[in-house]
Every structure is written in C-alpha cells, then in structure tokens.
Chains A and B, each alone.
Chain A
C-alpha cells in the first residue's frame, strides 16, 4: 500500500518575538519529524565581549534583546560581582529587584495581551481583537506602560537602560523620586488581578506533560537575581555548577545549540517553572489569586501559562509596592569593584526563564571569555517535544487549523527568538 504523507509548513511564525521556522512531517497519520529551526546563534555577542572591559558587559549584553535588556544587565552584573567577590545588598539590592519587577510587568503584559490572548479569543492578532475588545486591549497597554515607567526611571531611559552598573547603579534615587510610581502600580495591581480572573476563564486544551521544571529557588523570596538552581526532579545545585549539569547540543537542522540536562534531556524554564518551584514564595495576594484561578501550586499545562504569567504580573506589582514602602536611599550609588583575575557565574530569572552568564576576566578587568545561555534556547527541545506529543491529538483537523494549533503550542513559551537568534523562519509542513 502506498504510504500517505502529509507535511505541515508554516513559513512565518506569527506573534513570536522574532521569526521562527518549524517543520512537521506526518506519515501514515503518525508524526515522523519535528524540526524547530534556528539559523543564527548569539555567538556574535560572546565574541564581541572578548577583550572588552568588564564594566561594559551590562550595556553590551542589554542590546541582545529589546524586550528583556534588564535581564541581560542583571545576569552580567551578578556574574561580574561573583568574579570580583563583591556583594550588593540593602537598598541597592532592592532597587535591582524593583527594576526587574518593571521588566516582568512589561514583558508579560505584552505577551498576555498582544501576542497570546488572541489565540484563546479566536482572533488572528491583537489589532483585530482591539476592534471588539478596546477596553481590554487598553488595559493591557496601560499595564505594560506601568512596567515601562519603572524601567525608564531606574534604568535612566525606556529602551536599553543605561543606569545599571557592576556594583549597583550610576545614579540612585530618593524615596520621593520613586513616589510617583506608586499610584500607577496600585492601579496595575488591581488590573493584574483582573487579568488573572480574565485569563482563567479562557478555554484550554487538555495537555499536561511530565516536564522537568528548572528555576532559581531562594530561601525566602520569589526569585529574581539569587538562589540555587533547582528542578522538579530533584536537581539542587549552585549556579556555578550549571555547566556540570547542563550542556548545549549541536542540532543538525539548526545553527543554534539546544540546551539539555546531561543524561536527562529536555527541561522547562520560565514562569511555569518558577511558579511550580516557588509557589509558597509568592505574596499572599498572588498566591490567593492563583488558587482562585484553579492553580493550586502546580501547573503542567503550557496552554495555561497565560494564567501563570498573569499571576507573576500581580506578584511583580505587589513586590514593587512592597519595595517602595520600605525603601530608603542608599548611602552610595554603587560598591566599587576593583578588577581581579577570576571567573564569575550568574543565573537570573528573565521573564522567559533562567538566563545564564559566565565570564572569565584577567587582572586588568579584561574579558577573556564570555558564555551566554538565553532561556529560549533552553526551552527549544521542550517545545519540539510538545509538538511531537501534541500533533497526534489533533491529526484530524484541517491543515490551517492544525497549523494554527501548532503555532499556539509554540507561543505558550513566549519564545524570544531574538535572544536566541535574529531571524527564525517557522515552517510546519504536512503532505
């Protein structure tokens, strides 16, 4: 009997940050191939950083992504401070959590409202959704703007913040300077709570998988910049041990490297991983909202990641307000960091998951080696696995509907292809 082959091809993946390429092949109603293609790895920046001064790393790496520059700056400064033996605490540490709150609010609000919600409400994009749901889209835009305001004030400007430096900030703020953020944040906290309730009512595909979630874990806080790296299957390591447990595999169909757990395969980073591994560190308000939304400390369905992102926006607003309440201006804007030979490691929680940086510097502070592993390259193998498992359930759908479902399955991860690469064409092929 002649073999029946079906290819799904999507040349352009809509509503993913960057461009992507995905190819799925179906033979005799069985998935025979899934390839998520990435054409261009971020090795340019690793090479570009070589021979630069260690103080330049936060501003250079911030240019890798227009959506999460703060994450790159935070991973860079913490890795450098790790190499130089500098410890930043007190109000400077709080300011770093505060600017990260701003970035989570911005990035998550963008994905929830502009990129992901249209999937659940049946719109091709947010512009068409805006015609029927103007108030909701405006709420999303205002929520995002609240995050922008924090990043713009603390970072010195809205795009590519320039006020972050190794040891602290170039300029710090009085309590009064930060006071204007409060009013919008209080509105944003209410709007975030509404967002949790709104997204919880969306229709979700039934798709729970046995993932290994990986996130930072701090003894008392929901993680931004510090903690041990833990997983839902028992991993518990210092960040400096990252490369002993994780490795990047070269994949034939992609120029990018897929990150895997040595001997363990794929893993899952991002909001769902943080939520599942740190539920009891959320603020009481965020925890209660999650429980009311039906997430009792665990979420294994990536389609529901939109609810988890909403819970994290609520947490970030709540945490930002908490920091602003107790904030006192630090005596010095930064701690002086003298160059010395060494290696420094850091993982911080970018909106999309752990962002790993390692730098080797010489006695003059010159960068000899840089390694950067963005969250999207860590999730890539998990995305491919999802598609292997997801497509068989929807095999009977017409071509366009199946293709759309696959794109949605990818959007669950909010993949920031521009972090992993610049151009990524997405092809789903079915013959």
Chain B
C-alpha cells in the first residue's frame, strides 16, 4: 500500500449493518473528517489476512473494533498488543474466524508486528442486523476519538 510511513495507521473494523459492530467504522469516519495529517485511516471488515497486510511495515497502528465480553456496554478496553496477547474470544464478535485477534497472534508468530500496536475495543450491546448504535456505545464515541488523538500527540 502506498502510504506515507510516518503517519499512525488507524484501522476501524466492523460491519455497518450489524448495529454496534459498526462502531469501529464510525470512529474511523469521524477521524477521517478531522483530516489530521498525522493519521492514515482505513475502514476494514476484519478479515485477518488483509488486516496483517494493512499494518505490514508500519511503526504505529491503532485498531478499533467492537467487543463482546461481559463488561457493561460502552466500556472501552485498551490493549497494548505488542506486550500482551489479545484473547481470541474477546474479539470474536467479528463475523470471521480468522479475524483481528488471530491476525495479531499470527503476526506475532511470524515476527511481523508493528513496533506499537494498540487495540481499542468498545463493548457493544446489540449485534443484530440494523444500522443504529445503542445509546451507551454512541455515548463513548467522542472519548474513543480523543484517546486516539492523544496517542499521536
């Protein structure tokens, strides 16, 4: 991919038609509107192998995805994926089984992790077909965006 290497790559993962699963994509779109020159933004379906391709050769990567664990909806989980493994089930709300968590662990096994890789997981409530975020997920959008901007400042 021909992109400048000194930017931080932000990958918003999700599906626009699966309610809260859209949150990663929506964060990416908000960031895109800011046109911040320090950021390169990508929307992604979460398919693992092409995710790995997207961060190859990158220094700093931030992944944003919806999460389905037992935490209250709207909780923001921040994981430093270089230092700790991403629990596979933690991100299994992605509709693909070679998804984000597998892509990170495969990159680790092949020594292809970026120097900095952060995962911002937003706990969702509803993953049924639909085009609306639940209120608690909607309410945390701004906080997630601010946190991402702090990472590159």
Contact = CB atoms under 8 A, between A and B. Distances in A.
Tell whether A pairs with B. yes
Contacts of A16: 97
Nearest to B52: A141
A115 B98 contact: yes
A48 B17 contact: yes
A63 interface: yes
B43 A418 contact: no
Contacts of A66: 15, 45-47, 95-96
B59 interface: no
Nearest to A20: B97
B98 A114 contact: yes
Given A63-B17, A422-B129, A19 B92 contact: yes
B35 interface: no
A237 interface: no
Interface stretch (B74-82, B101-109, B141-149): B101-109
Contacts of B130: 44
Interface string B110-146: 1000000000000000011110000000000000000
B98 A130 contact: no
Interface in A91-150: 106, 110, 114-115, 125-127, 130-131, 134, 137-138, 141, 144-145, 148
B17 A44 contact: yes
A14 B95 CA distance: 12
Interface in B36-56: 43-50, 52-53
B102 to A, nearest CB: 7
Contacts of A138: 110
A158 interface: yes
Contacts of B44: 159
A115 B102 CA distance: 11
Contacts of B17: 44-45, 48, 63
A419 B115 CA distance: 35
A290 interface: no
Contact of A67 (B47, B53, B102, B129): B47
Nearest to B130: A44
B96 A418 contact: yes
A67 B110 CA distance: 23
A15 interface: yes
Nearest to A160: B45
A333 interface: no
A141 B110 CA distance: 11
Given A48-B129, A127-B105, 5 more contacts: A40-B129, A110-B47, A130-B110, A159-B44, A417-B95
Interface of A: 12, 14-19, 40, 44-45, 48, 63, 66-67, 106, 110, 114-115, 125-127, 130-131, 134, 137-138, 141, 144-145, 148, 158-160, 417-418, 422-423
30 contacts: A15-B97, A16-B97, A17-B95, A17-B97, A19-B92, A40-B128, A44-B130, A67-B47, A67-B96, A114-B98, A114-B106, A126-B98, A126-B106, A127-B102, A127-B105, A127-B106, A127-B109, A131-B109, A134-B110, A137-B110, A141-B49, A148-B49, A148-B53, A159-B45, A159-B47, A417-B95, A418-B96, A422-B18, A422-B95, A422-B129
